[in-house]
């Protein structure tokens, strides 16, 4: 396994739409393992392939609390949300590609997501709470959308401007953030 570099916004790959995985190969499985390892190391609770410069529709998530629960990694290939609740919930979201910033984002509280697992088998998962938020946040990445895109333009521009400045200062060259999605 290998650690992958996480892209920091603004970056063109983070704004691009990822393409469907056409065949679940050993290479895909290895990439998913590397993504998980990278996510745990960050540490984070979710990571999308765009964030490590790969424009394929793959995400990994694990919302288990490492201090109280066993790891519960989920690898999702070509995830599609087939149902969303009308009820919404709000979480303060962060992102490994938007380090140091957290903002509240409102999303459907419950979702059903269909995807292929690492064996290429079709799966369906009902998620709610933090897991539902995390999966929606990661699928946004696959569509070139960041959580800051859900904020007002003013707020988003301010964050991107600050990130640009921090990047120029080399603030994220060796990161040890305690961030999330």
Report the interface residues with Ni ion, using CB under 5 A: 95, 181
Taking the complex as a whole, how short is the minimal distance between the CB of residue 38 and Ni ion, in angstroms? Answer: 13
Asked, as a colleague might, if the bond just before 43 is cis with ω within 30 of 0, I would say yes
User: In whole angstroms, what is the distance from residue 60 CA to residue 118 CA?
Assistant: 11
Out of 19, 37, 128, 138, which one is annotated catalytic? 138
Token pair 């120029």 is found at 168
Q: Is the Cβ of residue 21 or residue 95 nearer to Ni ion in the bound state? A: 95
How many helices and strands (H and E) does the chain possess?
Answer: 3, 7
Active site residue 138: yes
Q: Give the separation between CA 164 and CA 95, rounded to whole angstroms.
A: 15
Q: Which is nearer to Ni ion, 104 or 120 (CB)?
A: 104
- Nearest approach in angstroms of CB 180 to Ni ion is 8
Range list of β-strands (E), 22-67: 46-48, 58-61
Q: What is the CA radius of gyration of the chain?
A: 16
What is the nearest approach in angstroms of Ni ion to the Cβ of residue 141? 6
Q: Which is nearer to Ni ion, 4 or 95 (CB)?
A: 95
Closer to Ni ion by Cβ: residue 124 or 164: 164
Beta carbon of residue 139, minimum distance to Ni ion (angstroms, whole number): 11
Active site residues: 138
């Amino acid at each position: 396994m290998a650690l992958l570099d996480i892209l920091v916004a603004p970056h063109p790959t983070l704004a691009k739409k990822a393409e469907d995985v056409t065949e679940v190969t050993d290479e895909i499985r290895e990439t998913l393992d590397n993504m998980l390892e990278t996510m745990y190391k960050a540490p984070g609770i979710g990571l999308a392939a765009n964030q490590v410069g790969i424009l394929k529709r793959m995400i990994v998530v694990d919302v288990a609390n490492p201090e109280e629960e066993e790891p519960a990694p989920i690898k999702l290939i070509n995830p599609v949300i087939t149902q969303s609740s009308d009820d919404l919930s709000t979480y303060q979201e962060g992102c490994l590609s938007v380090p140091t910033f957290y903002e509240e984002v409102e999303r459907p509280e419950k979702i059903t997501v269909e995807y292929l697992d690492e064996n290429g088998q079709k799966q369906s998962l009902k998620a709610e709470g933090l897991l539902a938020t995390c999966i929606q946040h990661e699928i946004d990445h696959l569509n070139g959308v960041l959580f800051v895109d859900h904020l007002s333009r003013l707020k988003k521009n301010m964050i991107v401007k600050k990130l640009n400045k921090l990047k120029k200062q080399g603030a994220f060259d060796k990161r040890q953030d305690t961030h999330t999605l």
